[in-house]
């Protein structure tokens, strides 16, 4: 549960905003202060507060605390009132709004009533101010009025009854904790070590990194270790993952816990786009029938009870019940998440400042009760780098420019950015490069977030490119506020598009800012070696409360035979002439050992050349495509799992990591080369960053990411103790530094094929 509750004294300690958000959903999801960006709201709020303070001799920012009791539950509610008269008889709460409301919103009334009760005021007022016109509308409120008294007492009644039910539920959870056990019949090697490490980190509120091979069963072990300290200390558990397949694994694991008698309330969040029951190209509350009367429909439909009774709330459950109740599934899921013990969601809901879950992470006290479990943690730095590397594309601008025809204000807003993009739209660039670094002082146009939001943010008819452009401009403004040596301004070509981008080489600080506010953080992945590299990337390298664990391979060593074929040269300039050799290797494997074989390549272009040559040679195969919809991906996995296929895919791509395959006749896989990232200006800037901090730039920017892609791809092979397979690494670089030094221990001894002869190579 979101609010802290002291079970010994029966006391709820909470900020008034948190308490209201927990038990009073918004009346409507349509235009209000939510349509105004945070920076604008804060600026207008301060302006109006100062103006009223001077005009009426009011005192600003008054701390308030109310001690009260209802149904045996004691409350210690805190907050900070906007304005108070000098005689202490009148309190005023200021809110930004556009358009002006006909009546104060219920959650605003509750807030001002709290201040009136806490400060002993006879009178109160809700004042709304428009950040554009700076006009205001004031609603006087009599706290002693019967309607207001009933509203406040009804709120306390609801909160107290809710806390009582949560108290009883947690008592049952604590009792069930005594018999809670690992959700499967037995543990695999390494799982006990993971369970103990995670539980210890959660209890001590520490940071933990766990590297464990694919097939270890990390999800079940991490959850088993994380749950006890979360339940004991009434904390909130977040399972962060970038992939729907991992959410499915989590749901299956939690279903086992629940069926075994441990009812940990769990919700799995989908994106806003995937949660929408309407056929809108983008979310539009002004036209959506599920946005109006949101609060009353939740209350009268009983949808909260229906969903929480399930204990495990999957996206399809939320969609079904929300449509029945005629409320927005996404907003309903966010509201219910406050009543859950475990929330599974994407990384962005914690680390993206534009969409993070404000209910949990805007307030430091609430954030301090959140426990983060970061699945596939090796991927998090790149995701956060993307969040802080906003880019603007030519076709977004040109589509928006056409839409803006006849709209002088919008054209004036777009013109300087369009001119900037056009300056770099002509080929050839210097040395015919597809990517160039721009001087930071080229004169980026100034950014007024409010103007962008006003002209594009609320435009329900604007094309999706206009929305993407507006979001990118917001990203540019965030960088402008935080810009330092980590950010580099780039221009590059992608097909017919020209892009201008702020590229962030070091996202670790932004990761640290979020997880340092939480109770504890555990990152786990099959590829976190070397641990010191990833602890730095994840912003944990300087922590004195960091523990690292590397768990060994859980299966019999003889189940995996690793071969290195040095007869193939996988360096870029030799790839074309290796095609016939590689096709021959694939044909030979299929003929000698019938069944399914996989082959992973470092790029689509090379994979496609091999696929074309293999088909010309009569080999039957299926290959990953560059553009695949979610349905295409599901069909591809289904086809793979039928068995008896030669499968070509890209290392580091969709089917090389984070996907559970159940191929009945998998014999082995080929991996061509160490899968280094492509050489680009961005990768060179990363290399430069490491070199400047006295680290081996090539190792950290190229070799480690490349070998980790190889390890992830190889992880598709062995998933249980009965499976046996061959892993064939193509290329002599695998037996040379730095790649050789970073291969997993359980791959040794390597069977090295050189000049047709096989020799064993052991770890030095």
Query: Would you say residue 168 lies in a domain?
Result: no
Does a structural domain hold residue 371? yes
Residue 478 lies in a domain: yes
* Mean pLDDT over each residue of the chain, to the nearest integer: 90
Confidence of residue 542 (pLDDT cuts 50, 70, 90): low
| 680, two tokens | 């680009």
Residues 494 and 583 in one domain: no
Instruction: Indicate the pairing of strand 136-141 with strand 123-129.
Output: antiparallel
Distance separating alpha carbons of residues 552 and 83, to the nearest angstrom: 61
Structural domain for 325, as ranges: 265-339
> Could you give the CA distance from residue 759 to residue 28 in angstroms, rounded to a whole number?
71
Q: Specify if 175 maps to a domain.
A: no
- Model confidence at 502, pLDDT cuts 50, 70, 90, reads very high
Q: Is the per-residue pLDDT at 559 higher than 70?
A: yes
Specify if 170 maps to a domain: no
Half-sphere exposure of 547 (CA within 13 A, CB side): 18
**Which pLDDT band holds residue 398 (cuts at 50, 70, 90)?**
very high
Same domain? For 124 and 191 the reply is no
Please determine, for residue 363, whether its predicted confidence score (pLDDT) is greater than 90.
no
Which pLDDT score, from 0 to 100, does residue 36 have? Answer: 73
Return the pLDDT at 634. 86
CATH code for the domain in which residue 422 is found: 1.10.275
Secondary structure letter of residue 350 according to DSSP: H
Domain boundary among 516, 534, 553: 553
Mean pLDDT (whole number) for 244-266: 93
The percentage of the chain sitting over the pLDDT mark of 90, rounded to a whole number, equals 65
Query: Same domain for 494 and 348?
Result: no
Same domain, 360 and 276: no
Indicate the residue among 112, 131, 161 that finishes a domain.
Answer: 161
How far apart CA 518 and CA 205 sit, in angstroms, is 9
Looking up residue 125, the CATH number of its domain turns out to be: 3.90.320.10
- In this prediction, residues 476-491 reach a mean pLDDT of 91
Answer yes or no: do 493 and 513 share one domain.
Answer: no
Over the stretch 592-605, which tens digit does the pLDDT of each residue have? 999 999 999 999 99
One domain, residues 649 and 668: yes
pLDDT confidence of residue 428: 52
User: Does the structure show a pLDDT above 80 at 441?
Assistant: no
Q: Are residues 498 and 375 in the same domain?
A: no
Q: How many residues does the chain have?
A: 764
Residue keyed to tokens 């080999």: 619
Of the pLDDT bands very low, low, confident and very high (cuts 50, 70, 90), residue 33 is low
User: Is the per-residue pLDDT at 224 higher than 70?
Assistant: yes
Q: How far apart are CA 645 and CA 449, in angstroms?
A: 53
Tell me, what CATH number does 704's domain have?
3.40.50.300
Inform me whether the pLDDT recorded for 432 exceeds 70: no
pLDDT at 348: 95
Residue 166 included in any domain: no
Same domain, 492 and 640: no
Q: Is residue 171 in some structural domain?
A: no
Same domain, yes or no: 603 and 652: yes
Sequence-ordered alpha helix ranges (H) in 641-732:
681-692, 697-698, 704-714
pLDDT band at 1 (very low <50, low <70, confident <90, very high): low
Asked if residue 98 belongs to a domain, the reply is yes
Band (pLDDT 50/70/90 cuts) for residue 31 is low
* DSSP line for 15-61: EHHHHHHHH---S-SSSSGGGS-HHHHHHHHHHHHHHHHHHHTEEEE
How many domains in the chain? 5
Q: Regarding predicted confidence, which is higher, 210 or 425?
A: 210
Contact 387, 352 (CB under 8 A): yes
| Residues ≥6 apart with Cβ < 8 Å to 158 | 23, 24
pLDDT exceeds 60 at position 360: yes
Whether residue 120 sits in one domain with residue 68: yes
Split at pLDDT 50, 70, 90, the class of 3 is confident
pLDDT greater than 60 at residue 643: yes
Question: What does the pLDDT read at residue 374?
Answer: 96
Higher-confidence residue of 464 and 269: namely 269
Rounded to whole angstroms, the Cα distance separating 417 from 472 reads: 12
Last residue of a domain, one of 132, 161, 190: 161
Clarify whether residues 374 and 400 are in a common domain: no
Asked whether the predicted pLDDT for residue 455 surpasses 60, the reply is yes
**658 pLDDT more than 70:** no
DSSP at 430:
G
Identify the pLDDT of residue 364: 86
Q: Cα dihedral angle (272, 276, 278, 281), rounded to 10 degrees? A: 30
Is there a contact between 660 and 717 (Cβ–Cβ < 8 Å)?
A: no
Q: What is the DSSP string of 226-274?
A: HHHHHHHTT-EEEEE-S-HHHHHHHHHHHHHHHHTT----EEEPPPTGG
Residues 203 and 95 in one domain: no
């Amino acid at each position: 549960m979101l609010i802290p509750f002291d079970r010994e004294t029966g006391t709820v300690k909470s900020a008034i905003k948190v308490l209201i958000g927990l038990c009073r959903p918004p009346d409507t999801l349509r235009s209000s202060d939510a349509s105004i960006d945070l920076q604008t709201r804060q600026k207008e709020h301060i302006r109006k507060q100062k103006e009223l303070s001077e005009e009426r001799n009011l005192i600003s920012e008054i701390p308030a605390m109310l001690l009260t009791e209802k149904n045996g539950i004691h409350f210690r509610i805190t907050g900070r009132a906007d304005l108070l008269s000098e005689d202490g008889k009148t309190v005023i709460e200021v809110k930004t709004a556009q358009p002006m409301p006909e009546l104060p919103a219920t959650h605003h009334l509750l807030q001002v009533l709290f201040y009136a009760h806490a400060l002993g005021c006879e009178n109160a007022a809700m004042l709304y101010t428009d950040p554009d016109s700076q006009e205001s509308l004031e609603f006087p409120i009599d706290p002693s009025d019967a309607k207001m008294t009933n509203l406040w007492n009804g709120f306390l009644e609801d909160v107290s009854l809710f806390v009582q039910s949560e108290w009883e539920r947690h008592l049952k959870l604590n009792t069930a904790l005594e018999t809670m056990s690992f959700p499967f019949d037995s543990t695999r090697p390494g799982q006990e070590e993971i369970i103990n490490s995670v539980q210890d980190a959660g209890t001590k509120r520490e940071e933990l990194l766990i590297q464990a091979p694919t097939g270890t069963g990390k999800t079940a072990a991490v959850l088993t270790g994380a749950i006890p300290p979360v339940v004991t200390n009434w904390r909130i558990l977040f399972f962060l993952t970038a992939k729907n397949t991992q959410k499915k694994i989590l749901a299956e694991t939690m279903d086992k816990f629940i069926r075994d008698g441990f009812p940990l309330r769990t919700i799995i969040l989908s994106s806003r786009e995937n949660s929408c029951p309407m056929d809108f190209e983008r979310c539009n509350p002004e036209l959506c029938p599920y946005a109006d009367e949101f609060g009353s429909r939740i209350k009268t439909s009983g949808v909260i009870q229906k969903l929480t009774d399930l204990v495990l709330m999957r996206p399809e459950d939320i969609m079904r019940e929300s449509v029945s109740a005629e409320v927005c599934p996404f907003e309903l899921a966010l509201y219910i998440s406050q009543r859950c013990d475990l929330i599974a969601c994407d990384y962005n809901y914690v680390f993206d400042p534009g969409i993070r879950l404000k209910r949990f992470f805007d307030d430091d006290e609430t954030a301090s009760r959140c426990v983060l479990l970061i699945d596939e943690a090796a991927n998090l730095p790149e995701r956060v780098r993307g969040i802080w590397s906003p880019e603007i594309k030519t076709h977004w601008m040109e589509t928006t420019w056409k839409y803006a025809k006849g709209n002088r204000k919008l054209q004036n807003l777009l013109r300087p950015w369009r001119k900037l993009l056009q300056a770099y739209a002509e080929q050839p660039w210097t040395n015919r490069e597809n990517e160039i670094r721009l001087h930071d002082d080229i004169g980026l146009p100034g950014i007024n977030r409010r103007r962008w939001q006003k002209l594009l943010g609320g435009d329900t008819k604007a094309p999706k490119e206009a929305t993407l452009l507006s979001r990118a401009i917001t990203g540019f403004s965030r960088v402008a506020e935080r810009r330092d040596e980590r950010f580099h301004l780039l221009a590059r070509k992608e097909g017919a598009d020209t892009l201008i981008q702020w590229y962030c080489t070091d996202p670790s600080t932004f990761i640290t800012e979020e997880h340092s506010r939480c109770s504890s953080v555990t990152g786990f992945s099959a590829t976190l070696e070397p641990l010191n590299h990833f602890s730095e990337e994840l912003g944990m390298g300087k922590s004195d409360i960091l523990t690292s664990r590397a768990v060994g391979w859980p299966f019999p060593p003889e189940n995996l035979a690793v071969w290195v074929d040095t007869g193939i040269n996988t360096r870029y300039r030799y790839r074309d002439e290796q095609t016939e050799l590689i096709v021959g290797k694939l044909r030979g494997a299929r003929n000698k050992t019938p069944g399914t074989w996989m082959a992973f390549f470092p790029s689509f272009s090379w994979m496609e050349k091999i696929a074309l040559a293999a088909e010309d040679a009569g080999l039957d195969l299926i290959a990953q495509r560059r553009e695949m919809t979610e349905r295409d991906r599901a069909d591809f996995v289904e086809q793979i799992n039928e068995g008896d296929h030669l499968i070509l895919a890209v290392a580091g791509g969709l089917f090389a990591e984070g996907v559970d395959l159940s191929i009945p006749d998998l014999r082995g896989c080929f991996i061509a080369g160490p899968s280094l990232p492509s050489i680009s200006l961005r990768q060179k800037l990363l290399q430069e960053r490491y070199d400047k901090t006295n680290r081996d730039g090539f190792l950290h920017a190229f070799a480690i990411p490349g070998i980790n892609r190889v390890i992830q791809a190889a992880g598709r092979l062995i998933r249980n103790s009965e499976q046996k397979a061959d892993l064939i690494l193509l290329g002599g670089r695998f037996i040379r530094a730095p790649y050789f030094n970073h291969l997993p221990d359980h791959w040794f001894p390597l069977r090295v094929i050189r000049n047709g002869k096989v020799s064993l190579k052991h770890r030095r």
